[in-house]
Amino acid sequence: MTRDIAVVAFAQSDTLRSSEEVSEVEMLMPVLHDVLAQTGLKTADIGFTCSGSCDYLAGRAFSFTLALDGVGAWPPISESHVETDGAWALYEAWTKLLSGDADTALVYSYGKSSPGSLRDVLTRQLDPYYVAPLWPDSVALAALQAQALIDAGDTDERELAAIGARSRATDNPRAQLKGPVPQGDYVVRPLRTGDCPPIGDGAAAVVLAAGERARELCERPAWIRGIDHRIEAHSLGVRDLTDSPSARLAAERAGAFERPVDTAELHAPFSSQEVVLRKALGLDDATRVNPSGGALAANPMMAAGLARIGEAAARIHRGESDRALAHATSGPCLQQNLVAVLEGDPR
């Protein structure tokens, strides 16, 4: 069974350091209205809805249940939720379209990092018995990875600084951090402020459609030629942090290596992680990496991965790309990775 499935619309909010003036539903609703308006669809026209979010950011159980109010799930809808980045919600929705259960899907995700101290919150992702009690924070773990890369001769601090500068040179109007940004002091050596993502609140949404429905809804659909995700061991001690075998395997399964891609949207929250991903995915200078600015320009937790797929798709919609790779990550030091390959019809 094969069925052509495409991203036909993408919308996102601004990413803000604090959104305390608005609830999650209020942050989400304009994005949902935007993405549906692009296709002319209403909630009731959507065959399957899937979202991604995380209770630990909101600091309350079942935080996603009220976000459903933003969708307007009445009459009742066929719906599901993943407790991770929305890229995995997109994956779940893709399987629903693939099996023929639905012809269209709405996928959204959101995250508010502002209510808590994100570096502390993310320590709760770690092995609860042996690692979490030590509270190693997300920047410290990324710094271990960056130092391993430097020690292996894969990069140096100058190259890392250049990655940050290039990312923030984006013209993306939704970017939280753009233009010349000082590289700053060390946050955790060897990572400086400029190597770290801005902390922000934001939301993203896409619409998927299958076959002819996709062509009706979008002038140039971004066809998902392949999508796959893989996870690695949790313990950092058993991983080679300078490599990403899971990203490479996911890319292989998604067909990324069959032909070169002209664009890659990588979910690399730290500059050093772009180095890891470029190596694992075999990307050279012929591929334009993160024209959106990537996670170094805006990193709304749980939405930044979905936004990479959306950004890659939007470039195909606009005719700025013909074949793009989109990547999302979850967990410490790129533990889990998802790769999608998107293509536009020949022009």
Partner 1 sequence: MSKEPVAVVGIGQTKHVAARRDVSIAGLVREAAVRALDDAELTWADIDAVVIGKAPDFFEGVMMPELYLADALGAVGKPMLRVHTAGSVGGSTALVAANLVAARVHSTVLTLAFEKQSESNAMWGLSLPIPFQQPLLAGAGGFFAPHVRAYMRRTGAPDTVGSLVAYKDRRNALKNPYAHLHEHDITLEKVQASPMLWDPIRYSETCPSSDGACAMVLTDRAGAARAPRPPAWMLGGAMRSEPTLFAGKDAVSPQAGKDCAADVYRQAQIADPRRDIDAVEMYVPFSWYEPMWLENLGFAEEGEGWKLTEAGVTELDGDLPVNMSGGVLSTNPIGASGMIRFAEAALQARGQAGEHQVEGARKVLGHAYGGGSQFFSMWLVGSEPPDA
- Residue numbers at the binding site for partner 1 (CB under 8 A): 1, 3, 49, 54-56, 60-62, 64-66, 68-69, 72-84, 88, 91-92, 95-96, 98-101, 121-122, 124-129, 132, 228-235, 245-246, 249, 330-332, 335-336
**Which pair of tokens denotes residue 160?**
């890392």
Whichever of 133 and 179 has its CB closer to partner 1, that residue is: 133
Alpha carbons within 13 angstroms on the beta-carbon side of residue 289 total 25
Q: What's the rounded Cα separation, in Å, for the pair 203 and 213?
A: 25
Whichever of 81 and 323 has its CB closer to partner 1, that residue is: 81
**Strand 48-52 to strand 104-111: parallel, antiparallel, or no bridges (unpaired)?**
parallel
Q: What's the rounded Cα separation, in Å, for the pair 90 and 101?
A: 15
Q: What's the rounded Cα separation, in Å, for the pair 306 and 201?
A: 14
Burial class (CB in 10 A: 0-12, 13-18, 19+), 288: middle
CA distances (Å), 54 to each of 95, 126, 177, 300, in order?
A: 22, 15, 23, 12
Least distance to partner 1, CB of residue 194, Å: 27
**Residue bearing tokens 């042996």:** 130
CA distances (Å), 181 to each of 33, 200, 273, 315, in order?
A: 33, 16, 19, 25
Alpha helices in 129-183 (DSSP H): 138-151, 157-168
Whichever of 69 and 320 has its CB closer to partner 1, that residue is: 69
Whichever of 75 and 182 has its CB closer to partner 1, that residue is: 75
Amino acid letter, 270: F
Whichever of 197 and 331 has its CB closer to partner 1, that residue is: 331
SS3 of 298, please?
coil
Least distance to partner 1, CB of residue 66, Å: 6
DSSP state of 300: B
Whichever of 120 and 216 has its CB closer to partner 1, that residue is: 120
**Strand 191-192 to strand 104-111: parallel, antiparallel, or no bridges (unpaired)?**
unpaired
Burial 198-227 (b: 16+ CB within 10 A, else e): bbbbbbbbbbbbbeebbeebbebbbbbbbb
**Which pair of tokens denotes residue 328?**
């999302």
Whichever of 122 and 218 has its CB closer to partner 1, that residue is: 122
Whichever of 321 and 330 has its CB closer to partner 1, that residue is: 330
